[in-house]
Structure 1
């Protein structure tokens, strides 16, 4: 069983509700990860578990914690293996790496065990962003811990330009065979995206304040930053996306948000998955980028409202809203 062990938590940059805390937990395969949580004064609506994307970390979701805590949910977020303050397996900690994509499910199981130890209120819900959307969908498909699920820009496919697609697949599948599995793909950079990319022209968010928040967090705590993935990670991610798309949709109620300007994950894959999810709803955000939860307030506020309604509908039997106000 997971033992409670306090971990560093950077409240100076996280924001979020008062009382945020983090814990170290060790997975069944002996990997140390970090889990953070915030409690609500009136936790009548259960717990939202945030499954972040690649390169992300607990503190990035302090604002998201505020949104859900204000709506009566406890909130939890994870540093997946290989990122944030969790164990990083390679000599160069800037490289995002995992040996098998299903290893992330070890992190999920350890996180659920911690949630039990913390007595986080049920029902439990999951929000999966980007890579966390792939991890979250498998967790929903293979388990019954979550009463409902929501996703933002989920990685059920990776977007490549027509020119880059064959090169990326060649790198992913031949790189590891010739001893380059722990190296990064040739067109990638060894700096975190938000560190190297100015706000103008970025493909994450249209909100300059949110983008600056991400920059400030990594400037204050560079140990949280992560750069390009390894070619093994890329191979494993492509295989995981193919597996997810081949599965029958879960019966769990699902709500997915997709920005119309999405340029990181595959929009076609998301639409195809949701078209075949009988208990699922897809909401497309006009002009939205990848980070739907970090878009301007007039966009992200209604998204949080709709997620909360979607989750609470599992308790009341009411039908969740399907229209996002502009």
Structure 2
């Protein structure tokens, strides 16, 4: 492992933050950000969503540190400062969704090598929730898991899925999904129209992060990414619930992932809890103060109750 840059000027995280490059078993360079390594309550492995990067979760690391936990956040392949496989760096792309599991294994090895405090807990948002569910079924060793709007299904219009399969079949897999833009969502979408957060200050911070450091951002996904994501959601729906205590947050104003898929999964997760946040949007952990503080309190209580 080698030291990597961490953009502390926009991360809004604890002062002890650091970042590291990791090399996966298939040769891809990814990045992790770490905060609160001296905390004694354990470490939260924070699995980011699509388009995201470690700095976005600096404030989450601060919230978790205030509750006694260290945080490790990951830049998945194809986003943040991790390697991108296409010439157009604005494209969100992965060749196979299963490739993310190589990133998970690299993260797990790094947590051990860096001596991050045990027990390990999982906090996964959106796309990170799909990656996490697969990893848990493959034996990822954590004491408990919490999910924020996990991508166990995607909300699409009636023609979107057939179009994706058609475009994939005619060699357009590396093209951007029609109807998505070439700019980061937070730059292309006014606050009033956004589906992420009801907190204007948070939204402006997200805009500043990718404006000051444009190398962090990506825009719309490729056809292959969406095809792979849809296929993975279908595969995940057929898997049993892993034997890990789970807490899942779902906003009443969710417009990006499938609430129905989340409800089905949690209804069949023995001992699992679904926390419905009536006025929450997609980014529960970055929504209005009363929403996000409630979520962090609940996640921390869940982690402490299952301390391993």
Calculate the TM-score normalised by the size of structure 2.
Answer: 0.98
Which residue in the other structure is 1:14 paired with?
11
Instruction: Determine the structure 1 residue equivalent to 2:231.
Output: 239
- Cα distance per residue 1:43-81 (max 9 Å; x no partner): 221100110000000000000000111111110000000
How far does the alpha carbon of each residue in 1:227-249 deviate from its partner, in whole angstroms, 9 at most, with x for none? 11111111100010011111111
Work out the CA distance in 2 between the residues paired with 1:202 and 1:74: 30
1:96 matches 2:92: yes
| Paired residue secondary structure (1:200) | helix
The aligned counterpart of 1:174 is 166
Give the Å deviation of 1:284: 0.6
Instruction: Report the equivalent of 1:221.
Output: 213
- Which blocks of at least 5 consecutive residues in structure 1 are unaligned? 317-326
Contact persistence 2:37–2:117 (CA under 8 A): no
Unaligned runs of 5+ in 2: none
SS in 2 for 1:77: strand
Q: Does 1:32 align with 2:24?
A: no
SS of 1:6's equivalent in the other structure is strand
Counterpart Cα distance in 2 of 1:252 and 1:15: 31
What is the Cα deviation at residue 198 of structure 1? 1.0
Alignment of 1:239-258 (within 5 A): 239-258=231-250
In the alignment, which of 265, 276, 279 is matched to residue 268 of structure 2?
276
Q: Which residue of 1 aligns with 2:222?
A: 230
* Structure 2 counterpart SS, 1:175: helix
Question: For the residues of structure 1 that align with 2:148 and 2:51, how far apart are their CA atoms?
Answer: 16
Cα deviation for residue 40 of structure 1 reads 4.9
Q: Is the 8 A contact 2:153 2:261 kept in 1?
A: yes
- Alignment: residue pair count: 308
1:125 match: secondary structure: strand
Does structure 1 conserve the Cα–Cα contact (< 8 Å) formed by 2:145 and 2:245? yes
CA distance, structure 2, for counterparts of residue 219 and residue 8 of structure 1: 17
2:303 to 300, 305, 311: 311
Question: For residues 154-193 of structure 1, what are the structure 2 equivalents within 5 Å?
Answer: 154-160=150-156, 164-165=157-158, 167-193=159-185
SS of 1:149's partner is: strand
Q: Give the drift of 1:196.
A: 0.9
Taking the aligned partners of 2:37 and 2:105, their CA distance within structure 1 comes to: 23
Q: Which runs of structure 2 are paired with 1:73-84 in the superposition (5 Å)?
A: 73-84=69-80
- Structure 1 contact 168–185 (Cα < 8 Å) conserved: no
SS in 2 for 1:315: coil
2:196 corresponding residue in structure 1: 204
Separation of aligned partners in 1, 2:163 and 2:186: 24
SS in 1 for 2:249: strand
Cα separation, 2, equivalents of 1:17 and 1:188: 34
Distance 2:283 2:107 in 1: 23
